[in-house]
């Protein structure tokens, strides 16, 4: 019997709406907005809808929609990522073009009990007026257009409402007033504080790097990932940080979608990459000129690498042109000495062959100077002669051209780290 691979689960609007309807958020307006979002959900649980559109659907003010979306994100019900539209009309998350509506992800796979607990925890610090009984002054009575209950004469009441109403049919309300201080969720659940680097929320040392490296984090719950991350030991946190890079490469290679970051941490997915380590951090690039530029140029020529990209600037103060380049590695006394040992031509330099102690010493010093491993070049030991070297290999007069693999160097051994030279390789030659 033939079996076919099952297609990935696709989230339908009715499934998303049932999920939102069953959540007990204790915030009527926020739940109303969440249910409206489910009308725009795609098969992967994402919504792309603007705040004005939500406001029009729900007859709420844009400020109310904006504040409730922030609250929903704070308790982990949704995750938002900034979006831009480039000049070709393509939507992207790289900051190219003009800013547009955020991409919203419904966190359908999260634990509903955890969401409801966080929603309940915010109620004490920021009790929502939406949970109180409706104000009779602001409830429209069926059949009495333009009239409201609570007025003895049946005329429209002139008494101002005790609170603005954003959810009554036909009423145009003012923007909902912002609270004097933003509601505080259970630490560290304030995503705005996390994203702005507020001093009120202290993240573990490696969490920021982990979060930026984890694939697809833009539409995941930062709070939920941090909730797991803080329970890990410092060694585990560091391991997870570097394993996230390897995990991203593995998913890209095998074309798989990532799990939510909090699930990956909770399941200790970072243990699948036991040999990962923090990559070396290169020094910041700086401008070099004069002796430093000459030393770097000679070192790159010795290693058979491309010379630095040099640009010329004119100084009006002394009327001279100065050559400069950018360099991202430290320049020590040994590298500066190399320039004084070399001349402009390399034909008179000594050849050190691959496999010799001198070759190994130069390779180690190149590693220290450039931060990369350098291999030897093919060096021809005789000029090209077409009469013998250009013949077919089966020709009896053919002779291969002599060559070796190695470096042409201005001195048999690389300079010592202290800026002195060695003729035999003793001391700190390597």
User: CB of 119 within 8 A of CB of 25?
Assistant: yes
Nearest CA among 186, 194, 78, 184 for reference residue 126: 184
- Three-state DSSP at 380 gives strand
pLDDT at position 134:
37
> Which of 18-27, 95-104, 220-229 is modeled with the greatest confidence?
18-27
Long-range CB pairs of 379-383 (<8 Å, 24+ gap) are 379/351, 379/403, 379/404, 379/405, 379/406, 379/408
Radius of gyration for the chain, computed over Cα atoms and rounded to the nearest angstrom: 34
Q: Determine the topology of domain 13-133 in CATH.
A: Arc Repressor Mutant, subunit A (1.10.10)
Report the residue count for the chain: 430
Give 32's pLDDT tier (boundaries 50, 70, 90): very high
- Please say whether the dihedral angle defined by the alpha carbons of residues 37, 41, 47 and 52, taken in this order, is positive or negative: negative
User: CB of 415 within 8 A of CB of 351?
Assistant: no
In our burial notation (b when 16+ CB lie closer than 10 A, e otherwise), range 25-43 reads bbbebbbbbbbbbbebbee
How many Cα neighbours within 13 Å face the side chain of 268? 7
CA distance readout (Å), 339 to 291, 302, 334: 8, 11, 9
User: CB of 251 within 8 A of CB of 257?
Assistant: yes
Q: Domain boundaries in the chain?
A: 13-133, 203-272, 286-409
pLDDT digits (tens, 9 = 90+) for 380-425: 888 998 888 888 888 888 888 899 999 988 888 888 888 888 766 6
**Maximum Cα–Cα distance for the chain, whole Å?**
122
Nearest CA among 148, 131, 140 for reference residue 168: 140
Angstrom distance (rounded) from CA 296 to CA 326? 10
Does 188 sit behind a cis peptide bond, omega within 30 degrees of 0 on the bond before it? yes
Predicted TM-score (pTM) of the model is 0.36
- Beta-strand ranges (E) seen in 69-176 are 78-85, 91-92, 98-106
Proportion of the chain above pLDDT 90, given as a percent: 14
First to last CA, the chain: 67
Angstrom distance (rounded) from CA 358 to CA 355? 8
> Of 100-114, 152-166, 287-301, 375-389, which gets the smallest average pLDDT?
152-166
How many Cα neighbours within 13 Å face the side chain of 169? 7
pLDDT digits (tens, 9 = 90+) for 122-181: 765 555 444 443 333 333 333 333 343 333 334 333 333 333 333 333 333 333 333 334
């Amino acid at each position: 019997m033939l079996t076919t691979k099952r297609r990935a689960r696709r989230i339908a609007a009715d499934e998303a709406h049932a999920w939102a309807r069953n959540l007990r958020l204790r915030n009527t307006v926020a739940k109303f907005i969440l249910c409206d979002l489910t009308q725009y959900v795609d098969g992967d649980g994402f919504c792309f809808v603007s705040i004005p559109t939500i406001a029009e659907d729900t007859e709420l003010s844009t400020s109310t929609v904006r504040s409730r979306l922030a609250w929903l994100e704070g308790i982990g019900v949704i995750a938002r990522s900034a979006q831009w539209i480039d000049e070709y009309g393509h939507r992207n998350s790289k900051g190219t073009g003009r800013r547009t509506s955020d991409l919203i992800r419904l966190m359908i796979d999260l634990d509903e009990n955890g969401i409801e607990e966080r929603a309940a925890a915010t109620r004490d610090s920021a009790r929502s007026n939406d949970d109180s009984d409706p104000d009779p002054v602001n409830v429209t009575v069926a059949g009495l257009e333009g009239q409201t209950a609570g007025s003895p004469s049946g005329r429209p009441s002139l008494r101002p409402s005790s609170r603005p109403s954003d959810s009554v049919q036909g009423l145009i309300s003012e923007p909902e007033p912002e609270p004097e201080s933003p509601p505080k969720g259970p630490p560290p659940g304030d995503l705005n504080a996390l994203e702005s680097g507020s001093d009120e929320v202290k993240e573990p040392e490696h969490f920021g790097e982990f979060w930026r490296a984890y694939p697809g984090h833009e539409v995941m719950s930062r709070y939920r990932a941090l909730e797991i991350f803080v329970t890990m030991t410092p060694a585990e946190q560091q391991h997870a940080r570097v394993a996230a890079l390897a995990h991203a490469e593995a998913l890209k290679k095998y074309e798989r979608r990532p799990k939510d970051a909090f699930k990956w941490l909770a399941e200790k997915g970072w243990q699948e990459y036991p040999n990962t380590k923090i990559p070396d951090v290169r020094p910041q690039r700086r401008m070099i000129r004069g002796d430093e530029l000459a030393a770097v140029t000679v070192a790159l020529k010795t290693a058979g690498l491309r010379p630095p990209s040099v640009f010329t600037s004119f100084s009006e103060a002394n009327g001279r042109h100065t050559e400069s380049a950018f360099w991202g590695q430290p320049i020590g006394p040994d590298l500066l000495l190399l320039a004084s040992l070399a001349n402009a031509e390399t034909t008179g330099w000594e050849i050190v062959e691959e496999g010799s102690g001198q070759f190994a010493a130069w390779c180690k010093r190149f590693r220290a100077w450039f931060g990369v491993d350098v291999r030897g070049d093919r060096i021809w030991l005789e000029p090209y002669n077409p009469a013998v070297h250009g013949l077919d290999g089966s020709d009896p007069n053919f002779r291969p051209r002599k060559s070796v693999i190695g470096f042409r160097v201005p001195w048999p051994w690389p300079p010592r780290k202290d800026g002195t030279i060695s003729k035999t390789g003793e001391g700190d030659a390597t």
